[in-house]
């Protein structure tokens, strides 16, 4: 008889943008046997390793400049205009798996930039998506990660506010309110992906139903770090693992109800492996 009851959160796992990018990659790998991808296709090391074994070759922007007459996958995070220019010059075929939500945001930022708006972007410095957004403004927009950083800037009387698609909607509208309290006129553009932003509410409900929570995510995933903290704040018996080998029997007691959940960059097959390992575990 198994001593643990284990349930996977079926709302966890890849968002549709990541599903789309990985499906495109797998189709081409099956046909050609190899494919270049600009940056990690997803911020999950074990999923990247799985695809690399199928022939996926991860390159950076320096390597892109040296590559010619090849096909290159653009991942869901999107890319700045410079990448497309390099592709033209090097006769590269771009397989564009940019998420539609990201592309919509890029287009709106470009429109605002063309109107000489003062653009502020709530997002993580250096994140792939944010670099693509900045590129729409010739890197002239202001990126900030929190309100402390925002208010260190000399703010104009009117700003056009955008956000990385995976940020919290509550935080976005709180930033808008704080700016308005300081007398700044704000044109707020909410293009946050609801499939991602709603995960925090869904996870809070999920985490309350179990004795222990195993949160599965890659260590590079910004979304994973945020959602792990959501689970941890709801259920203090929450443990972070990036692979099955990191599970520890001492975390559990006999008859524990265990919930497994993950980031938008966590593959379902990995959560299933974690479930199977837990069911085999001797407590």
Domain stops at, among 67, 98, 129: 98
Tell me the residue ranges of DSSP E strands in 29-68.
Answer: 35-38, 56-59
pTM of the full structure: 0.86
Looking at the DSSP bridge assignments, the partners of residue 262 are 216
pLDDT band at 1, cuts 50/70/90? very low
Q: What is the CATH number of the domain that holds 120?
A: 3.40.1010.20
Whether residue 113 contacts residue 135, with contact meaning beta carbons closer than 8 Å, is answered with no
- Same domain, yes or no: 87 and 116: no
Mean pLDDT of the chain: 95
pLDDT digits 0-9 by tens, 108-131: 999 999 999 999 999 999 999 999
203 burial level (CB within 10 Å; 0-12, 13-18, 19+)? buried
Domain stops at, among 173, 192, 211: 192
pLDDT band at 45, cuts 50/70/90? very high
pLDDT digits 0-9 by tens, 161-193: 999 998 888 899 999 999 999 999 999 999 898
- Same domain, yes or no: 37 and 21: yes
Q: Which residue is associated with the tokens 């099955």? A: 244
- Same domain, yes or no: 36 and 92: yes
Q: For residues 161 and 176, give the distance between their C-alpha atoms in angstroms, rounded to a whole number.
A: 8
Both tokens assigned to 10: 């079926």
Polymer length in residues for the chain: 283
Q: What is the CATH number of the domain that holds 26?
A: 3.40.50.11270
User: Coil, strand, or helix at residue 214?
Assistant: strand
Q: Which domain holds residue 75?
A: 16-98
Name the DSSP letter for residue 245.
G
- Same domain, yes or no: 144 and 221: no
Give the pairing of strands 93-96 and 158-163.
unpaired
Whether residue 220 contacts residue 40, with contact meaning beta carbons closer than 8 Å, is answered with yes
Whether residue 127 contacts residue 44, with contact meaning beta carbons closer than 8 Å, is answered with no
Q: How many domains does the chain have?
A: 3
Estimate to the nearest angstrom the gap between the alpha carbon of 91 and the chain centroid. 29
CA-derived radius of gyration, the chain: 21
Q: Which residues are catalytic?
A: 129
Task: Print burial letters for 208-246: b (CB count within 10 Å at least 16), e (below 16).
Answer: eebebbbbbbbeebbbbebbbebbbebbebbbbbbbeee
Cα torsion 95, 99, 100, 106 to 10°: value is -90
- Same domain, yes or no: 181 and 106: yes
pLDDT digits 0-9 by tens, 185-242: 999 999 898 888 888 889 999 999 999 999 999 998 888 988 999 999 999 999 999 9
């Amino acid at each position: 008889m198994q001593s643990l009851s284990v349930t996977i959160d079926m709302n966890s796992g890849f968002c549709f943008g990541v599903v789309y990018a990985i499906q495109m990659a797998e189709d081409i790998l099956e046909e050609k046997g190899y494919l270049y991808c600009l940056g990690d296709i997803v911020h999950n090391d074990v999923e990247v390793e799985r695809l690399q074994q199928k022939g996926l070759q991860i390159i950076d922007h320096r390597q892109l400049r040296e590559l010619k007459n090849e096909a290159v996958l653009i991942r869901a995070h999107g890319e700045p205009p410079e990448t497309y220019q390099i592709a033209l010059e090097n006769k590269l075929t771009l397989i564009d798996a940019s998420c539609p939500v990201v592309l919509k945001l890029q287009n709106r930022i470009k429109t605002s930039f063309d109107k000489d708006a003062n653009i502020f972007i709530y997002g993580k410095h250096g994140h792939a998506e944010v670099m693509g957004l900045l590129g729409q403004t010739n890197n002239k927009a202001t990126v900030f990660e929190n309100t402390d950083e925002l208010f260190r800037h000399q703010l104009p009387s009117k700003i056009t506010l955008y956000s990385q698609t995976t940020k919290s909607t509550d935080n976005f509208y709180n930033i808008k309110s704080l700016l308005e309290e300081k007398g700044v006129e704000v044109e707020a553009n909410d293009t946050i992906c609801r499939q991602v932003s709603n995960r925090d509410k869904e996870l809070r409900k999920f985490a309350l139903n179990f004795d222990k929570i195993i949160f599965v995510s890659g260590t590079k995933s910004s979304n994973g770090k945020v959602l792990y903290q959501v689970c941890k704040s709801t259920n203090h018996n929450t443990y972070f693992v990036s692979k099955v080998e990191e599970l520890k029997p001492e975390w559990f007691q006999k008859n524990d109800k265990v919930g497994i959940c993950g980031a938008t960059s966590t593959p379902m097959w990995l959560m299933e492996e974690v479930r199977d390992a837990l069911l085999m575990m001797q407590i």
